[in-house]
Structure 1
Amino acid sequence: MILPIVAYGDPVLRKMCTDIDSDYPELDSLIANMWETMYKANGVGLAAPQIGKAIRLFLVDTSPFAEDEDLSPEERHLLSGFKRVFINAKIESESGSKWSFNEGCLSIPDIREDVNRHPEIQVTYLDTDFKPHTETFDGLLARVIQHEYDHIEGVLFTDKISSLKRRLLKGKLANISRGKIAVDYKMRFPAQKKAR
């Protein structure tokens, strides 16, 4: 089932999300719905707050990035095969010199900005069987994971740009929260009563 994606301005996007356990109600269907929602919106990641749930859950499928001709064959191979669910994730460490990349967000349509992030991260998380993992990710993969991780921490990519750029985007962001934007996927706008 395709769920409405919560738009910028909704308080759920600013909440520090809570851990879940294997008893979380209908978790399998929630995850299946999140995959379907993300693919319908042409995203590479989706976090639970973006569908209105303040829980520490996000998923990532970087295969669309594998079509980038600027990447090495190894990078393309890694990105094309990476599809994962992260439950109760925690970034344990970030390393390397920050690098800039143009990011967007399904909750903030039609706005893209360069964001600086560390190139390498170490993450602990649980998979869908609630087995623990500790892994190191780098490059674009690390970036996508950091972006989704920020969502479960109540942080948006627009928080990571300069205050001047944020001021310049203020009107656009206000229009997004009011639903004054054309999108080709279902969204829920905080200043409106129903999803469209």
Structure 2
Amino acid sequence: MAILPILEVPDPRLKTISQPVTEFNADLRKLVEDMFETMYDAPGIGLAAIQVGVPKRVLVIDLQEPAPHDHEHGEHCNHDHDVVRDPRIFINPEILDPSEDMASYNEGCLSVPDQYAEVDRPAKIRARWQDLDGKTHEEEMDGLMATCLQHEMDHLEGILFIDHLSRLKRQMVLKKLNKQRKAA
């Protein structure tokens, strides 16, 4: 496994429209392993293949929910490491049935480091995708999973979360990012 470099704005490759996966093989498995390692290292909750320079329709997501704690019995807990990992792989994903109800979420992106903004997206979606073996799955999603999947799927079309913002807000985010880079 390897930690891959993550492309950041204004890298033009982030505007690439990703191609469908047609071969479900060892190379794909290695890419997905490397994507998970890269995402966990960043740290993030989602990563599209194009963000590591691979223009394929592959996403990994792990919302990494905090583990339940038993505080009544005085157990010591280390909150940084007590997460329940639920790695999910989405190959050739599509949204079939977005709800008309919208949900707003303060989104961030590994390709736009340390910048966040409110983005409105359909609150519920029905998604279809393939797994590492090429088997098709379908699921209704809401909450953070629906938001995250839509955010990552945007990458497959060359769209960043900042592209959903007004021109003024987008310019403000990019200005803050440039200021942060100069300070580093």
Report TM bin, short chain: 0.7 to 0.9
2:108 paired with 1:104: yes
Paired AA for residue 38 in structure 1: M
Instruction: State the secondary structure of the residue aligned to 1:154.
Output: coil
2:56 paired with 1:52: no
Distance 1:170 1:81, change over 3 A: closer
1:152 shift after superposition:
0.7
Paired AA for residue 110 in structure 2: L
Instruction: Tell me which structure has the larger Cα radius of gyration.
Output: 2
2:43 paired with 1:42: yes
Structure 1 Cα separation of the partners of residues 99 and 183 of structure 2: 37
1:180 shift after superposition:
4.0
Residue 151 of structure 1 corresponds to which residue in structure 2? 155
User: Structure 2 length as normaliser, TM-score?
Assistant: 0.83
Residues 61-104 of structure 1: per-residue CA shift (max 9 Å, x gap):
0114x47xxxxxxxxxxx95642101111111210421211110
Structure 2 Cα separation of the partners of residues 147 and 46 of structure 1: 9
Aligned length: 169
1:8 shift after superposition:
0.9
Instruction: State the secondary structure of the residue aligned to 1:165.
Output: helix
1:12 shift after superposition:
1.5
Q: How does 1:93-132 map to 2 (within 5 A)?
A: 93-132=97-136
Q: Contact 1:58 / 1:85 at 8 angstroms: preserved in 2?
A: yes
- The structure, 1 or 2, with the larger RCO (C-alpha pairs under 8 Å, 6+ apart) is 1
Instruction: State the secondary structure of the residue aligned to 1:145.
Output: helix
Residue 7 of structure 1 corresponds to which residue in structure 2? 8
Structure 2 Cα separation of the partners of residues 113 and 151 of structure 1: 17
Q: Contact 2:101 / 2:124 at 8 angstroms: preserved in 1?
A: no
Q: Contact 1:8 / 1:173 at 8 angstroms: preserved in 2?
A: no
RMSD after superposition: 2.3
Paired AA for residue 48 in structure 2: A
Distance 1:97 1:89, change over 3 A: same
2:140 paired with 1:136: yes
- Identity of aligned pairs, percent? 41
1:175 shift after superposition:
5.8
1:25 shift after superposition:
6.5
Structure 2 Cα separation of the partners of residues 25 and 80 of structure 1: 27
1:9 shift after superposition:
1.1
Unaligned runs of 5+ in 2: 68-82
Which of residues 136, 160, 173 in structure 2 aligns to 1:169?
173
Unaligned runs of 5+ in 1: 68-78, 183-196
Q: Contact 2:59 / 2:91 at 8 angstroms: preserved in 1?
A: yes
Structure 1 Cα separation of the partners of residues 183 and 39 of structure 2: 19
Structure 2 Cα separation of the partners of residues 13 and 5 of structure 1: 10
Distance 1:55 1:180, change over 3 A: farther
1:23 shift after superposition:
5.0
